Structure 1
C-alpha cells in the first residue's frame, strides 16, 4: 500500500514538473526539444529540460520552429521591443509571430537579437566572470600577477555593470609597480536602440604618478548595428575628471570634459568573443588637453565555462604629470571562469 502511494506521488510530481516544461523547439537538423526556454542572448538560446542535469545551449540561428508558453521581453535588431509569447507556424518555418495589442507581426528568426522572461529570477539575470594571470621572466626576475572580475545584471529596461582589474609587477633593479582600474555603470534602454547611461571609472597607477583618477560621465548613445553575431554602438556626453597625484610634482587636477566613443562586440566567431571600446576626452576647462582610453579583449571559450582571455588597456594623455610618459598600457593573458 505504501509503495503504491509512493509511486502515485512520484507520478504526480513528474506530471506537475512536465506541465512547466511545455516550451518546444524544432531545430534545422529536425531534432525536437521539449522543456523550459529561459532566455536568448548573444546568439545563444538557453533551455532547461527534465532529461538533462545541465541546461542546453543552442545556436539561435539553428532554430526552425519555437513555441513558448510564457511571456518574454523581446528585442529586435531594429530596436523595437515586444512583451509577448514567442510562436512560429509550421507553414512558415524560420519566422516568428509576435502579438501586441491584438495585432500580430511576422519577423524572420534572425531579426530577434535577445529575449528573456520578465519574471526571471535574480540569478538568471546575473552574469559574471573572474580570471587570473601570472607571468615570470627569469632574466630579470620579473613577476607579474593579474586579476580581473566583471559582473553584469540586466533587467527589462536596465543594465548594470561593474568591473575591477589589478596588475602588480616586481623585477630586479626597479620599483614595484601597481595598476588598478575599476568601473561601475548603468544603462537605460529606450526605443529604436537608443540608450542613456551613467558611468564612473577609477584608475590608480604609480608608474605615471597617479594616485587616483576619478571620471564620472553621463550621456546618450545608439546601437548602430545590432544582430545575433555582433553589436556596434556609439555615444557622447559630458564627464567630470578629478586627478590626485602621488608626489607633489604637480597639483591635483579637476576638470570638465566632453566625451565621445564607440563600442564593438563580435560574439559569434566560433568560440571567440571580441570586444573593444574607445573613448576620447577633449577637455573643456584645460586648454589643449586631450585624453584617450582604449580597451580590447579577445576571449576564447573552453569547456566547463572556462576561458582564456587576451586583454589590452591603453591610456593616452597629452598633458600628463610633469616628467611622466604620455602613454600607459598593459597587455596580459589570463585564464578564468564565467557564470551566466
Structure 2
C-alpha cells in the first residue's frame, strides 16, 4: 500500500513537469498528433523534439492542420513580414493560425516560411556545412582535392553569411592547378520582402591568370517568390572591383561596375535541394567590358545530416588580360555534413 502511494506521488510530480516541457502540440492532416518542443522550421521542414523519441521528428510544414505553442518565435511570412509572436490554431480554423504577438492576426500555415524560437541560444541560429571530395589516380600521380563550405547566422532583421570553396590539382610534369572562391556578406531585411545587401566576393584561378579578384558590392534586392517550396529573387547595385593578375606584366586593375543578379532556391523535391544564381557585371569605367558569374548546386540529403553535393561554377570576362582565357569553370562532387 505504501509503495502504491509512493508511485502515485511520483506520478503526480513528474506528470506536470513532462507536460510543461511538452508545451507545443501539432496535429497533421492525417490526424497524427505530436507533442513536444518545436526547435525550428526552415525550407518547408519543421523539427520537433519529444520526450518519447531518442531522435527529433522532421515533418513537412504544409502537412500541419493545427498547431498550439506558447513559445515566442522569430517568424518570416511569405510577403516578407518579419515578426516576433507565439501562435495557436482556434477550433474550426483548420490550417490557419492566430499570431498572438501580431495583433491576433490570422495567417494561413502555408504563408509562414520560417520560424525560430527567440529564446534559443546563439548556436541555434547558425547554419553551417562543409563537404570534401578527393580523387587520385596512378597515372601521372594525379591527385585532386575539393573543399566546399558555407556558414550563415540569421537574426530578427539581418543575416550574415559566408562561403569558401577551393579546388587544387597536382600531377607529375605539370604545374599545380589552384582555384579559390570565397564570399562574405550581410543582408538587412525590410518591408515587402525587400532587403539591403553588402558583400565581398573573392576569386583566384590559373585559367584567367587571376592572382586575386576582390569585388565589394552594395545594393538592393527583393524576393519575388518566398514560400515553403522555393525562394526566387534578384538584386541590383554597384560594385568596386580590384584585380591582380599573374600575366607577364603583373597587371593590376581597378574598376567600377554595376551588377544585376538573380537567384533560385528549390527545396521541396523529396531529399533534393537545388540552388542556382547568376550575376551580370557591366563595367562603368572600362568601355565594352562585362563579366558573368554563375553557380549551380544540387544537394541530396542523407541520414544524420550528411549529404552528397554536385556543384558547377562558371566565370566569364569579356576582356581578360593578354594570354588568359575569357572563361573558367569548375565541377565539384563532394560528400559532407550540415550543422543545424
| Pairwise same-fold verdict (TM > 0.5) | yes
Report which stretch shifted further, 239-248 or 150-159: 239-248
SS in 1 for 2:241: strand
What is the rounded CA distance, in whole Å, between the counterparts of 1:7 and 1:314 in structure 2? 68
Judge which range, 317-326 or 249-258, deviates more.
249-258
User: Residue 56 of structure 1: CA displacement?
Assistant: 1.5
TM-score normalised by the chain length of structure 2: 0.93
Shift of 1:248: 3.7
Provide the C-alpha distance between the structure 1 equivalents of 2:134 and 2:84, rounded to a whole number of angstroms. Answer: 46
- Structure 1 stretches of 4+ with a deviation exceeding 3 A read 4-18, 136-142
Q: Is the 8 A contact 1:310 1:332 kept in 2?
A: yes
Displacement, 1:237? 0.5
Structural RMSD (CA): 2.2
Post-superposition CA distance 1:145-198 (Å, at most 9, x none): 101111111111111111111101123442110111111111011111000011
Unaligned ranges ≥5, structure 1? none
Q: Please give the TM-score of this superposition, normalised by the length of structure 1.
A: 0.93
What is the alpha-carbon distance in structure 1 between the residues aligned to residue 212 and residue 284 of structure 2?
Answer: 21
Residue matched to 1:246: 246
Q: For the residues of structure 1 that align with 2:9 and 2:249, how far apart are their CA atoms?
A: 81
1:68 corresponds to: 69
Q: Could you tell me which residue of structure 2 aligns to residue 312 of structure 1?
A: 312
Measured against aligned partners, the alpha-carbon deviations of 1:102-153 in whole angstroms (never above 9, x if no partner) come to x432222111111112222111111111101022455554321101111111
278-287 or 136-145, which deviates more = 136-145
Helix, strand or coil for the counterpart of 1:223?
strand
Distance 2:326 2:207 in 1: 11
Superposition deviation, residue 12 in structure 1: 4.7
- The residue that corresponds to 1:236 in the other structure is 236
CA distance in structure 1 between the partners assigned to 2:8 and 2:262 by the alignment: 60
Matched ranges for 1:276-291 at <5 A: 276-291=276-291
The answer as to whether partners of 1:82 and 1:98 remain within 8 angstroms in 2 is: no
DSSP 3-state at the match of 2:174: coil
After superposition, give the CA deviation of every residue in 1:294-319 in whole Å (9 maximum; x if it has no partner): 01100000111111100001000011
The answer as to whether partners of 1:217 and 1:239 remain within 8 angstroms in 2 is: yes
Q: 1:88 to 1:249 in 2, by over 3 A?
A: same
Task: Give the number of aligned pairs.
Answer: 337
